[in-house]
Amino acid sequence: MCATANALRQADELCAQLKPRLAEMIDRNDPSVAGLTFSDIEANSAATGDLLAKLMMLGALAEQPPATDDEVAAIRRKVRKNADPGKAPHKTAPELNMTRQKGKRRRIKTVRGEITFERDYLHFPELGTRLSPGS
């Protein structure tokens, strides 16, 4: 399969971001480094791979489009279903008040380490809850 122009552009951007760190790790793995062990080489190499994974995750998150009308409707149904029955008892999912909160900072722990990013949320004040599309 041939890569799209957008994927190639993103790959170039990732390479530019990764290059200084990669050079640093190559220096750290240089055979002239006193006391260098295989464990050191492995740790340096893994740290570089983890950085690439984090950069790719952040790039993919930044490209996510806003929620579609169908996604918003599904989220409304989900929060209505999971809500405390005493909260807004006479409102159906489509009737719930909702606001879009753009660019809320979020920190998440991943297998590769912690990343911080911004994402949009749908806030339902009557229910005291908010969800991000794709949650």
pLDDT tens, N- to C-terminus, the chain (135 residues): 688 998 899 999 999 999 998 999 899 999 898 999 999 999 989 988 899 999 999 988 888 888 889 999 999 999 999 999 899 989 999 999 999 988 888 898 998 889 998 888 899 999 989 888 776
* 8 Å CB contact between 22 and 47: no
Judge contact between 98 and 122, C-beta under 8 A. yes
- In sequence order, the β-bridge partners of residue 100 are 122
Listed by start position, the domains of the chain span 5-62, 69-131
pTM: 0.70
CA 69 to centroid of chain Cα atoms: 22
Q: What is the model's pLDDT at position 135?
A: 65
Q: Supply the pLDDT for residue 93.
A: 92
Query: Measured between alpha carbons, how far is 29 from 42 in angstroms, rounded to an integer?
Result: 9
The pLDDT of residue 96: 92
Question: In whole angstroms, what is the distance from residue 18 CA to residue 50 CA?
Answer: 11
Three-class SS state of 98? coil
